[in-house]
């Protein structure tokens, strides 16, 4: 297929790819049959939605998309054991991972139990001292004081730690890739167990926890008892789904869509206070979950006390919520400073090693384990290749990796762990964590690169920018944006529509801060469109746009509603540009 608008290499070095002639034909037919705008028809058609399915897709109902919880193996046993503990007033402990998915999973259980007047002990391991997942000392100690331990967002590979919980039962609710054998728990509910079908592999851990609570409520109804309100918990599920970068398809899309409505009510005190601290001044979107709330909740687990995020999400005390939110906000600022230092060093090292390999990686002395995952994501974005970043301390290194579409990093990491090159490692297709001995780091990364190369990593051509069609500035109206948002929410696996504005005239440009650029685009007649290019001067995009010299350019980006001093208007978030 020829490049869209003839753009083989844009200002950021990308090849523009637009809809095929067949895609255009299908979109036009769908728009004509449904009466929807052609731009929306393109989005629906690209996702395989037919005219007959368009109405139900645009108004997804959770009851129609929610899977039967018992379709997951061990779910019946997990719900039964959990309910037995609740009815018997047994002592319950929740062992949670330190990220957003773990924190929301724990908060789901704590909130549900609180509604029934049942307490629970929260335990979140320290990232540096204990590492990811259950460990023998912690599980043994919890087992001595509790009857049931529920491990959320962790535990599937923790055989020794689960076995150490002598005297207590363990239920695991997880989504990380499972091994050939399962730990000795009462139940291991995980859509990524090797004996699962994979149909629900896109669920995050909080969704698995939610499904267990659905099954628990169902069992309670059979006994004539009404369980706690589950719909009110969907703000937590939505937050986890977006922050854990789960694809927004199927039931995940319904979870997030409904969860955003719950979040907009501002009823959960922890999220309400955190939104205020983060200066959220509009109705929440996936962007707010992924880039404002999520990083702050994660900050405790990255560089502070690991349980801060889960405690904030679970508390019903406004004073505690305020203190926790302010602490997390401060930690997030500190995290950004640490991240910037590590990112600069990692990028320099990776460049010296070569950015054209199947795996881009870097390792540094004393790099904080709490930021290596974020830095790996930055390397992946900069190179379009899987990336691993490792922080070294003594004889050991702890690292985190991020992958690109179509390359299963978690499976490759788990394989080299089984081969003995890693002390431990695992994850899921797009992200993984690992621990490696210093003297095995080079051979481990060489082997990982070999496995990823077999999956096609590094074989991609120039990065592509996929576009959904053409628009002119005059067509970018609030009405069009409102129609497009019906196909949302947008995020991982469901990107927001991106349009090209051909032969646009830049009538105004001004730097904002150190790296942003504000623009006004025109069609050369009367129509104008305000635009903003965030981080433009972190790449070649800013200098290209700033030096337009009055010539027309092709501009590409996503439409959004801009709120400023009580006024709403459509603006273009510029992502790329190219010469005519």
Cα dist. 80→85, 87, 121, 139, 163 in Å? 9, 10, 20, 22, 21
- Contact status, residue 310 vs residue 124, Cβ threshold 8 Å: yes
d(CA 469, CA 458): 28
Please give the average per-residue pLDDT across 547-562, as a whole number: 91
Q: Strand pairing of 148-152 and 92-96?
A: parallel
Cα dist. 151→98, 206, 471 in Å? 12, 12, 49
Residue-level pLDDT at 551: 85
Helix (H, G, I), strand (E, B) or coil at 149: strand
Pick left, alpha or beta for residue 458 (phi over 0 → left; psi -120 to 50 → alpha; otherwise beta): left
Residues 352-396: pLDDT tens digits? 998 889 999 999 999 998 899 999 999 998 888 999 999 999 999
d(CA 386, CA 407): 8
Residue-level pLDDT at 42: 93
564 pLDDT exceeds 80? no
- The whole-model pTM stands at 0.90
Q: How many CB atoms lie within 10 A of CB 304?
A: 20
d(CA 276, CA 400): 31
**pLDDT-derived band of residue 563, with 50, 70 and 90 as boundaries?**
confident
**pLDDT-derived band of residue 461, with 50, 70 and 90 as boundaries?**
low
**pLDDT-derived band of residue 548, with 50, 70 and 90 as boundaries?**
confident
Q: List the CATH code of the domain at 69-328.
A: 3.90.1640.30
- Contact status, residue 392 vs residue 463, Cβ threshold 8 Å: no
**pLDDT-derived band of residue 398, with 50, 70 and 90 as boundaries?**
very high
453, 137, 488: which is closest to 285 by C-alpha? 488
Strand-pairing partners, residue 568, are 563
Calculate the average pLDDT of the chain.
94
Residue-level pLDDT at 463: 79
Share of the chain above pLDDT 70, in %: 99
Q: What phi, psi does 218 have (nearest 5°)?
A: -65, -45
Counts of helices then strands in the chain (DSSP H, E): 21, 17
455 pLDDT exceeds 70? yes
CATH class of 467-579: mainly beta
309 pLDDT exceeds 90? yes
**pLDDT-derived band of residue 273, with 50, 70 and 90 as boundaries?**
very high
Residues 181-235: pLDDT tens digits? 999 999 999 999 999 999 999 999 999 999 999 999 999 999 999 999 999 999 9
294, 313, 311: which is closest to 302 by C-alpha? 294
Residues 472-497: pLDDT tens digits? 999 999 999 999 999 999 998 899 99
Give the residue carrying structure tokens 């508390």. 315
Pick the CATH number of 354-454 from 3.40.50.20, 3.30.70.890, 3.30.420.40, 3.10.310.30: 3.10.310.30
Q: What phi, psi does 557 have (nearest 5°)?
A: 175, -165
- Contact status, residue 448 vs residue 416, Cβ threshold 8 Å: yes
In this structure, what is the dihedral angle of CA atoms 41, 44, 50, 56, given to the nearest 10 degrees? -110
549 vs 105: which has the higher pLDDT: 105
Question: Residue ranges per domain, the chain?
Answer: 69-328, 354-454, 467-579
Residues 153-188: pLDDT tens digits? 999 999 999 999 999 999 999 999 898 999 999 999
Strand-pairing partners, residue 520, are 508, 530
Please give the average per-residue pLDDT across 31-49, as a whole number: 94
**pLDDT-derived band of residue 127, with 50, 70 and 90 as boundaries?**
confident
- HEC-encoded secondary structure of 453-515: HHCCCCCCCCCEEECCCECCHHHCCHHHHHHHHCCCCCECCECCCCEEEEEEEEEEEEEECCC
**pLDDT-derived band of residue 502, with 50, 70 and 90 as boundaries?**
very high
294 pLDDT exceeds 70? yes
Strand-pairing partners, residue 521, are 506, 529
Residues 428-447: pLDDT tens digits? 888 999 999 999 999 999 99
- Contact status, residue 505 vs residue 522, Cβ threshold 8 Å: yes
Half-sphere exposure (Cβ direction) of 144: Cα atoms closer than 13 Å: 5
Both tokens of residue 222? Answer: 């059979």
Cα dist. 351→264, 345, 457, 459, 511 in Å? 44, 10, 17, 18, 29
131 pLDDT exceeds 90? no
446, 490, 500: which is closest to 468 by C-alpha? 500
Residue-level pLDDT at 537: 93
């Amino acid at each position: 297929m020829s490049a869209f608008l003839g753009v083989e290499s844009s200002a950021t070095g990308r090849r523009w790819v637009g809809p095929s002639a067949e895609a255009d034909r299908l979109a036009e037919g769908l728009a004509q049959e449904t009466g929807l705008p052609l731009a929306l028809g393109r989005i629906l058609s690209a996702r395989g939605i037919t005219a007959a399915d368009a109405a139900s897709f645009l108004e997804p109902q959770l009851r129609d998309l929610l899977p039967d919880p018992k379709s997951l193996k061990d779910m019946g046993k997990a719900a039964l054991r959990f309910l037995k503990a609740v009815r018997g007033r047994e002592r319950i402990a929740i062992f949670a991972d330190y990220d957003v998915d773990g924190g929301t999973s724990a908060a789901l259980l704590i909130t549900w139990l609180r509604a029934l007047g049942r307490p629970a002990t929260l335990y979140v391991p320290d990232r540096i001292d204990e590492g990811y997942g259950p460990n023998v000392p912690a599980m043994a100690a919890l087992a001595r004081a509790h009857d049931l331990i529920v491990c959320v967002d962790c535990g599937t590979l923790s055989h020794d730690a689960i076995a150490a919980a002598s005297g207590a039962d363990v239920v695991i609710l997880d989504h990380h890739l499972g091994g050939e054998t399962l730990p000795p728990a009462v139940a291991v509910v995980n859509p990524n167990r090797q004996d699962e079908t994979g149909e629900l592999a896109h669920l995050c851990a909080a969704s698995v926890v939610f499904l267990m609570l659905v099954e628990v409520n169902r069992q309670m109804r059979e006994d004539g008892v009404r369980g706690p309100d589950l719909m009110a918990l969907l703000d937590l599920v939505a937050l986890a789904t977006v922050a854990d970068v789960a694809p927004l398809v199927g039931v995940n899309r319904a979870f997030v869509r409904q969860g955003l409505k719950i979040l907009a009510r501002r009823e959960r005190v922890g999220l309400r206070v955190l939104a205020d601290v983060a200066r959220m001044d509009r109705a929440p979107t996936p962007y707010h979950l992924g880039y404002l709330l999520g990083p702050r909740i994660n900050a405790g687990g990255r560089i502070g006390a690991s349980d801060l995020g889960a405690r904030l999400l679970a508390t019903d005390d406004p004073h505690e919520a305020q203190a926790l939110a302010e602490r997390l906000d401060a930690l997030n600022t500190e995290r950004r400073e640490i991240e910037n230092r590590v990112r600069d060093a990692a990028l320099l090292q990776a460049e010296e090693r070569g950015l054209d390999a199947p795996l881009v990686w870097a390792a540094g002395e004393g790099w904080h384990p709490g930021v290596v995952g974020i830095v790996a994501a930055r390397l992946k974005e900069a190179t379009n290749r899987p990336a691993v970043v490792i922080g070294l301390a003594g004889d050991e290194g702890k690292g985190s990796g991020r992958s690109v579409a179509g390359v299963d990093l978690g499976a490759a990491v788990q394989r080299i762990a089984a081969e003995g090159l890693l002390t431990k490692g695992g994850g899921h297709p797009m992200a993984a964590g690992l621990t490696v001995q210093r003297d095995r780091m080079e051979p481990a990364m060489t082997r990982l690169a070999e496995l990823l190369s077999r999956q096609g990593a590094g074989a991609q051509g120039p990065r592509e920018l996929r576009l959904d069609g053409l628009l002119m500035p005059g067509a970018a109206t609030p009405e069009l944006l409102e129609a497009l948002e019906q196909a949302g929410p947008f995020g991982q696996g469901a990107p927001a529509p991106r349009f090209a504005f051909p032969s646009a005239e830049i009538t105004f440009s001004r730097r904002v801060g150190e790296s942003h650029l504000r623009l006004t685009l025109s069609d050369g007649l009367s129509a104008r469109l305000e635009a903003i290019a965030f981080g433009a001067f972190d790449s070649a995009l800013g200098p290209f746009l700033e030096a337009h010299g009055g010539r027309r350019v092709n501009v590409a980006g996503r439409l959004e509603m801009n709120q400023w001093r009580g006024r709403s208007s459509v603006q273009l978030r510029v992502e790329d540009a190219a010469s005519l």
